Amino acid sequence: MRSFQQTLRPIHEWTAAGGWAAGASVTGIGMLLSPLPDAPFAIAAGLCLSFGLVRAGGGIARLRARRRLLRGRPLSFIDIGELNRRTSRDSVWLGWGYEWAQEHRQLADELLGASSDVVGGYAAGGARWIHGLEPSEGHVRLPISAIDVHTCLVGTTGSGKTRILDLLVTQAIFRQEPVIIIDPKGDRDLAATARRACAASGRPDAFLQFHPAMPTHSVRLDPLRSFGRPTELASRIAALISTGASGDPFKAYAHLALVNVIAAMLMAGDQPSLTTIRGQFDGGVEELVVAAIRSYAMKQELGDVLEEEIQHQRKAAGKQLPLVFHVIAAYRKRIASVKGSPELEGVISQFEHDRVHFSKMVASLAPVLAMLTSSPLDELLSPDRLDHDDARPILDMQQVITDKLVLWVGLDALSDPIVGSAIGSLLLADLTAVAGDRYNRLADLNRRASLEAWEEQERQSLERRINLVVDEAAEVINEPLIQLLNKGRGARVSVTLATQTIADFTARLGDEARARQVLANVGTIIALKILDNESQQYICEGLRSTKVDAVEKAFAISDKGEWSEYSGGSSERMISEDTELVPPNVLGILPPLESFIRMAGGAVWKLRSPILIGGKGS
């Protein structure tokens, strides 16, 4: 049976203590005035004083507990060295707190119904009493398994999302794990924290940064480096085309054109990049068709046959034609009939298509390629590996993971949100391709009964956790990121998302059901201060329910006409009702750096996190 107490009730203990003190005083006066023996009076007065002191002590204890409850806990700090000592491979330390239970919900309801004079109002600092609902607190650690099933931080601006990300990122760096941070706004605080953590872990060179607005201080990234099939690269670029409907024929045709060009480039031995792909669309594919056909003929050991037929076609033409026409004719006559190539047929068909009509069909692709290959992005996203005069490192996601690096990517979305979103989507697609390859390779190694020494070493490397942190995730969420949330755990990819409201995902994806489907793949949710009612309801509806007790009062009067038949009565009874474990409106008054954690297993914890300090540049 649950106990029911009213924390904010008047302190009746003091009234009782005053009554006992009055009784002791009256007894003392009686002892002075009465001719009777003093002993009975003295004993009675002593008992009255004793009972009064007990009741007064109870009143003082209740007053102190109320003040402690309403005062909450102060803002705390933790040095980066201390956080290093608390870092574990089995769990992630997040601060101090307690497991939220029915009694805390009961107290919260009572304080929410109290006047602002009693609880001190709700200033900009929030309601400190929320954390004070539990007198004692302990260290809060998330099991590493909870991190593996992904995490989402939800909180308004200034609620403390970045400070909690500081804790998560720093501990991942201390565990010697690769960390990839995608920050649409380009928050320098988070980048500075990652840099300090690398220095504190003894690997200052492990931190690398990418920012379009600071090209001289950025690494160069190749977002098309990792792929399994040419269609993957085509899909990455085509996904950036803005369309009004998923079945838009112009987008589908642009995707087909990209597949043809990329397949031909690979056949010709060229590594596709954004600038070289754009060159094929701007300047035409004549040279690419010639190179691809010749390369294919050489691989089929028909190179001499092709060149002989090309010379024959030139003599038979009787007039000077561009080389590409002779090469196509030779291919169709001597090679296609023996062993043709669908990839070659695709790019040849594209070359033979009416140029004006083709330009109209791929017109939606031109702005995408133009914005990703304009200066300085042409050098940052399409690096020339043969340019030895450029000392800026060239990276791809595979190298970041293999070398256990820490890559901070600022997208500068405040200045150019369209380009920032496109860059983020490309990099996430590259990471997804790497994760898919790791998943397949790890599954293959795990199926084998025995492994060679080098294969066991590779398996251990593939078991290494990859930490992906996406701030303002709604800015860059796309199909590759959704795939990472769905299946990334098998590739050891741990995703941490941060957003201001749940509605941000709905607005980006255009469908509330789709947004909820995405968030359903997040095992752990950390809810900070949330002002959006929809987000509050979503968070609290996902928690288990509990029972809250309340006192129901009733008063009745009956008058049958005669004064002697007048009657009345009152009654009180305690009722219980099912409700959310955490009141939704509590999320709107949380102080900065205080939050609720909903774990995958259903447990709910009240958390207060510290501000990370210390380290070079802090």
Report the share of the chain in percent with pLDDT over 90. Answer: 36
Say if residue 477 is in the same domain as residue 499.
Answer: yes
Q: Which of 353, 381, 409 is the last residue of a domain?
A: 381
How many other β-carbons are positioned within 10 Å of the β-carbon of residue 145?
15
pLDDT value at position 114? 62
Query: Above 70 in pLDDT, residue 71?
Result: no
Query: Above 70 in pLDDT, residue 346?
Result: yes
| pLDDT band (50, 70, 90) for residue 566 | low
pLDDT value at position 563? 59
Alpha-carbon span 175 to 183, nearest angstrom: 22
401 compared with 452, residue with greater pLDDT = 401
Query: Above 80 in pLDDT, residue 464?
Result: yes
Q: What is the DSSP string of 94-131?
A: EEEEEE--HHHHHHHHHHHTS-HHHHT---TT--GGGG
Say if residue 415 is in the same domain as residue 440.
Answer: yes
Stated as kind and residue range, the H or E segment containing 604 is strand 604-608
3-state SS of 464-479 is CCEEEEECCHHHCCCH
Tens-place pLDDT, residues 285-311:
999 999 999 999 999 898 898 898 888
6 within a domain of the structure (yes/no): no
| pLDDT band (50, 70, 90) for residue 552 | low
Alpha-carbon span 618 to 197, nearest angstrom: 11
pLDDT value at position 382? 92
Length of the chain: 618
3-state class of 536 per DSSP?
A: helix
Average pLDDT, the chain: 85
3-state class of 140 per DSSP?
A: strand
- Whether the CB-CB separation of 424 and 184 falls below 8 Å is answered with yes
Query: Above 70 in pLDDT, residue 584?
Result: yes
302 within a domain of the structure (yes/no): yes
pLDDT value at position 272? 93
What letter would DSSP give residue 221?
Answer: E
Alpha-carbon span 280 to 288, nearest angstrom: 8
**Which range (63-67, 141-145, 272-276) has the least confidence?**
63-67
112 within a domain of the structure (yes/no): yes
594 within a domain of the structure (yes/no): yes
Q: How many helices (H) and strands (E) does the chain have?
A: 26, 17
pLDDT value at position 387? 85
> Domain of 218: which CATH number?
3.40.50.300
HSE of 482, CA atoms in CB hemisphere, 13 A: 14
Instruction: Provide the number of structural domains found in the chain.
Output: 3
Mean pLDDT, rounded, for 563-585: 74
pLDDT value at position 278? 93
pLDDT value at position 415? 84
Say if residue 417 is in the same domain as residue 526.
Answer: yes
- Whether the CB-CB separation of 262 and 230 falls below 8 Å is answered with yes
Q: Which of 71, 97, 117 is the last residue of a domain?
A: 71
Report the share of the chain in percent with pLDDT over 70. Answer: 89
- Whether the CB-CB separation of 92 and 144 falls below 8 Å is answered with yes
pLDDT value at position 564? 60
Which residue in 94, 71, 72, 75 sits closest to 83, CA to CA? 94
Bridge pairing between strands 524-527 and 179-183: unpaired
Tens-place pLDDT, residues 510-526:
888 888 888 888 989 99
Cα angle: 535, vertex 540, 543; to 5 degrees: 140
**Which range (124-138, 284-298, 410-424, 447-461) has the least confidence?**
447-461
1 within a domain of the structure (yes/no): no
Say if residue 337 is in the same domain as residue 366.
Answer: yes
Say if residue 358 is in the same domain as residue 433.
Answer: no
Alpha-carbon span 278 to 534, nearest angstrom: 43
pLDDT value at position 288? 93
Query: Above 50 in pLDDT, residue 60?
Result: yes
How many other β-carbons are positioned within 10 Å of the β-carbon of residue 208?
21
| pLDDT band (50, 70, 90) for residue 554 | low
Range of the domain at 190: 82-222+385-613
Bridge pairing between strands 207-210 and 220-221: unpaired
Query: Above 70 in pLDDT, residue 237?
Result: yes
pLDDT value at position 243? 65
Say if residue 141 is in the same domain as residue 244.
Answer: no
Contacts of 212 (CB under 8 A, 6+ apart): 218, 376, 377, 380, 410, 411, 412, 416, 419, 420, 423
Say if residue 113 is in the same domain as residue 177.
Answer: yes
618 within a domain of the structure (yes/no): no
Mean pLDDT, rounded, for 42-53: 85
Say if residue 250 is in the same domain as residue 213.
Answer: no
C-alpha to C-alpha distances, 480 to 221, 429, 486, nearest whole angstrom: 18, 5, 10
What letter would DSSP give residue 544?
Answer: P
| pLDDT band (50, 70, 90) for residue 245 | very low
* pTM of this structure: 0.83
pLDDT value at position 246? 47
Q: Which residues pair with 468 in a beta bridge?
A: 180, 495
Say if residue 254 is in the same domain as residue 328.
Answer: yes
Alpha-carbon span 255 to 75, nearest angstrom: 53
Say if residue 198 is in the same domain as residue 263.
Answer: no
Q: Which of 363, 381, 399 is the last residue of a domain?
A: 381
- Whether the CB-CB separation of 405 and 206 falls below 8 Å is answered with yes
Query: Above 80 in pLDDT, residue 498?
Result: yes
Say if residue 274 is in the same domain as residue 214.
Answer: no
Tens-place pLDDT, residues 77-109:
999 999 999 999 999 999 999 999 888 888 888
Mean pLDDT, rounded, for 20-28: 83
16 within a domain of the structure (yes/no): yes
Say if residue 89 is in the same domain as residue 206.
Answer: yes
pLDDT value at position 347? 92
4 within a domain of the structure (yes/no): no
Query: Above 70 in pLDDT, residue 329?
Result: yes
